[in-house]
């Protein structure tokens, strides 16, 4: 009898375990809420949504943020609702759906209904049909009728108190839900009026006498400071130095309307003999592609070196192929060695007619050339410096990259009028050693706008400078505080003021400004890889006018970033980072964009 009971117990346990495994296999994760009745469900469990994975709940309708015309016509009269009422109910219904299903496991029972929009199914969460939950919430409409009138009436009262508005992040204007100008606005989000940034401006056509509310998260006020930006360009002899302003450009584009793009375009259009480009990455800017094609057609020789991983699936910039196909000759840094190939050809420079060099921290991308990212750029008009860059380029176009290169022969220090320019190429020139020397000699201040700081010796010398009374201030990108070898905590603990930026674009500069005397610019991040592995160019300029102007721009950025980010680290794609939840960019490289990101919701 004892054996029989034991056998029954084992069989029961096995059955329960088997049922659990089968249930787990059948359950799927809801990754995206399009509307309260339309979802992106991860059917193949690869954490991305394809059109085949869009599922609609069957036999139910609901309110949404963008009600279709037929839905509005049908229910506005019947339920005596304005379009504002409907959108406000849609806002609450969307919140309810988010809370109920977002990132939860569900099981599906498909119906026979399929449209171009989605497949239809009964969706079960914890064994309960989602349709029943939505109906009970007051947001569900079944067979043309509200399913729970009591909860619906309560929801309608709440909805009418929301005072939702349309906020245009780019113009910082807000509109009523029925405003015709709100419908035309780009880069918009629907939010309660009480959550508006303090600096938001009411649309004069739909907000005549309404006051602007402060946007509070806890005790903090979220706003873009109203501070006048200093001049973004300084010219000194044969050098032009300019920088972008990512506090004013919260969304990238490919229109080539910014100075960094129009100046690059001008150099292409004015070239007569040759253009050599060392480019980490390109995203197509039609005006640039067209200008390069026209240059080649008029006889200009175009050569290109670019970055390429051993595994092509890891390549971030797929549009490199566009310029490769235009160029007369091209070469990537990919070799038969995985280790060598996965070092970066991280340069961002171009040489025009062996006379002018365009270089700096900016990638030739839509985020770089649109001022969305914070960069600094140099245009140097010098045959001697152009020839020095050509020596480096020749090594790479002939197949020598990274550790295979040799140190460039000749003097790397050039005098252009009252400016001294030093050029260093990684990994052979050990650029960081010269930066350390400049830090050691600093007397008044060291200001650093840089994507990241992971270089140990540079970090320690900054701490030493702080200890001897030098004013050290650092701004780094929000992504960088989450990297493995970041030194920001070490620097903060030593008493150095380090701010993490809180804007949509990357703080992509790799700069050091010292004592109204020196500026360090170029492509090299302040990292071990930047110094010892990657192909990089570093430019050190000794010029008081250029240094003082860049200092003023740094201090402007410092004021534009709230002091709370001296201690608190904003997530790069979140409500903390201004514009990051509506810019269409995967700011933290995790495959999720805007409201797909939990921190944006």
Q: Return d(Cα 426, Cα 436) in angstroms, integer.
A: 15
Task: Report pLDDT for 46.
Answer: 87
Name the residue among 525, 505, 531 with its Cα closest to residue 451. 525
- Residue limits of CATH 3.30.870.10 in the chain: 233-566
| Structure confidence at residue 181 (pLDDT) | 67
Q: Using the Cα atoms of residue 59, residue 598, residue 152 and residue 175 in order, give the sign of their dihedral.
A: negative
Question: What secondary structure letter does DSSP report for 231?
Answer: P
Give the Cα separation of 385 and 415 in Å (integer): 10
Check if the beta carbon of residue 263 is closer than 8 Å to that of residue 405.
no
- What is the end-to-end Cα distance of the chain in Å, rounded? 59
Say which residues have a Cβ less than 8 Å from residue 283's Cβ, sequence separation at least 6. 254, 317, 319, 364, 365, 366, 367
The CATH architecture one would assign to domain 233-566 is: 2-Layer Sandwich (3.30)
1: buried, middle or exposed (CB in 10 Å: 19+, 13-18, 0-12)? exposed
Q: CB of 582 within 8 A of CB of 189? A: yes
Query: What's the pTM value of the predicted model, to 2 decimals?
Result: 0.66
Structure tokens, 25: 């296999």
* Three-class SS of 343-357: CCECCEEEEECCCEE
In 366-476, the DSSP E strands lie at 376-381, 413-416, 419-426, 445-450, 471-476
- DSSP H or E stretch at residue 386: helix 383-397
β-strand partners of 122: 109
DSSP 3-state of 192: strand
* Residue 22: predicted pLDDT: 38
Distances (CA, A) of 577 to 185, 424, 599: 21, 34, 10
Per CATH, the number for 26-156 is: 2.40.50.90
CATH 2.40.50.90 in the chain is located at: 26-156
Cβ neighbours of residue 82 closer than 8 Å, sequence gap 6 or more: 76, 178
DSSP string, 118-176: -EEEEEEETTEEHHHHHHHHT-EEETTEES-HHHHHHHHHHHHHH-EEEEETTTTEEEE
Task: Note whether 254 and 271 are within 8 A (CB).
Answer: no
The SS3 assignment for 299 reads: coil
Nearest to 450 by CA among 401, 495, 491, 493: 491
Peptide bond into 261 cis (omega under 30): no
Whole-angstrom Cα distance, residue 267 to residue 356? 8
Q: Which residues of the chain have pLDDT under 50?
A: 2, 5, 8-11, 13-25, 208-222
């Amino acid at each position: 009898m004892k054996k029989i009971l034991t056998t029954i117990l084992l069989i029961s346990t096995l059955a329960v375990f088997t049922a659990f495994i089968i249930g787990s296999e059948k359950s799927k994760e809801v990754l995206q809420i399009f509307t309260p009745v339309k979802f992106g469900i991860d059917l193949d469990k690869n954490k991305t949504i394809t059109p085949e994975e869009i599922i609609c709940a069957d036999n139910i309708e609901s309110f949404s943020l963008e009600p279709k015309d037929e839905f509005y016509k049908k229910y506005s009269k019947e339920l005596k609702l304005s379009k504002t009422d409907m959108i406000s109910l849609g806002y609450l219904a969307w919140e309810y759906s988010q809370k109920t299903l977002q990132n939860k496991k569900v099981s599906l029972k498909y119906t026979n209904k399929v449209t171009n929009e989605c497949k239809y199914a009964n969706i079960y969460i914890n064994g309960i049909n989602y349709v029943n939950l939505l109906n009970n919430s007051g947001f569900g409409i079944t067979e043309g009728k509200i399913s729970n009138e009591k909860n619906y009436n309560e929801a309608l009262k709440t909805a009418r108190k929301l005072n939702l508005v349309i906020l245009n992040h780019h113009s910082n204007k807000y509109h009523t839900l029925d405003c015709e100008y709100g419908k035309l606005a780009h880069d918009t989000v629907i939010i309660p009026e009480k959550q508006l940034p303090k600096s938001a401006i009411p649309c004069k056509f739909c907000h005549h006498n309404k006051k602007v509310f402060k946007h509070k998260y806890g005790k903090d006020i979220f706003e873009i400071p109203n501070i006048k930006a200093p001049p973004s360009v300084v010219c000194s002899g044969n050098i032009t130095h300019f920088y972008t302003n990512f506090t004013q450009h919260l969304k990238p584009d490919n229109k080539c309307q910014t100075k960094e793009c129009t100046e690059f375009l001008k150099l292409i259009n004015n070239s007569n003999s040759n253009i050599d480009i060392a480019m980490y990455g390109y995203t197509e800017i039609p005006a640039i592609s067209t200008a390069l094609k026209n240059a080649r057609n008029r006889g200009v020789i175009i050569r290109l070196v670019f970055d390429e991983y051993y595994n092509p699936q890891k390549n971030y910039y797929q549009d490199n192929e566009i310029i490769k196909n235009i160029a007369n000759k091209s070469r990537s840094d990919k070799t038969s060695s995985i280790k060598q190939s996965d070092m970066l050809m991280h340069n961002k420079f171009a040489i025009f007619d062996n006379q002018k060099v365009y270089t700096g921290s900016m990638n030739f991308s839509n985020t770089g050339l649109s001022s969305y990212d914070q960069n600094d750029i140099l245009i140097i008009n010098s045959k001697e410096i152009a020839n020095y860059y050509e020596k480096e380029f020749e090594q790479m176009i002939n197949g020598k990259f990274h550790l295979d290169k040799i140190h460039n022969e000749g003097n790397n220090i050039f005098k252009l009028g009252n400016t001294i320019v030093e050029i260093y190429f990684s990994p052979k020139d050990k650029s960081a050693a010269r930066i350390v020397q400049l830090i050691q000699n600093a007397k008044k201040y060291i200001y650093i706008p840089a994507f990241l700081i992971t270089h140990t010796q540079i970090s320690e010398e900054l701490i030493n400078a702080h200890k001897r009374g030098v004013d050290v201030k650092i701004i780094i990108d929000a992504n960088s505080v989450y990297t493995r070898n970041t030194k920001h905590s070490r620097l903060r603990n030593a008493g150095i003021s380090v701010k993490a930026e809180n804007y949509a674009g990357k703080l992509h500069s790799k700069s050091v400004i010292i004592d109204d005397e020196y500026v360090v610019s170029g492509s090299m991040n302040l990292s071990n890889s930047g110094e010892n592995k990657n192909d990089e160019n570093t430019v050190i300029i000794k010029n008081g006018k250029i240094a003082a102007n860049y200092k003023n721009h740094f201090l402007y950025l410092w004021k534009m970033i709230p002091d709370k980010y001296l201690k608190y680290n904003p997530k790069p794609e979140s409500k903390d980072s201004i514009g990051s939840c509506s810019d269409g960019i995967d700011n933290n490289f995790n495959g999720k964009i805007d409201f797909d990101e939990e921190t944006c919701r």
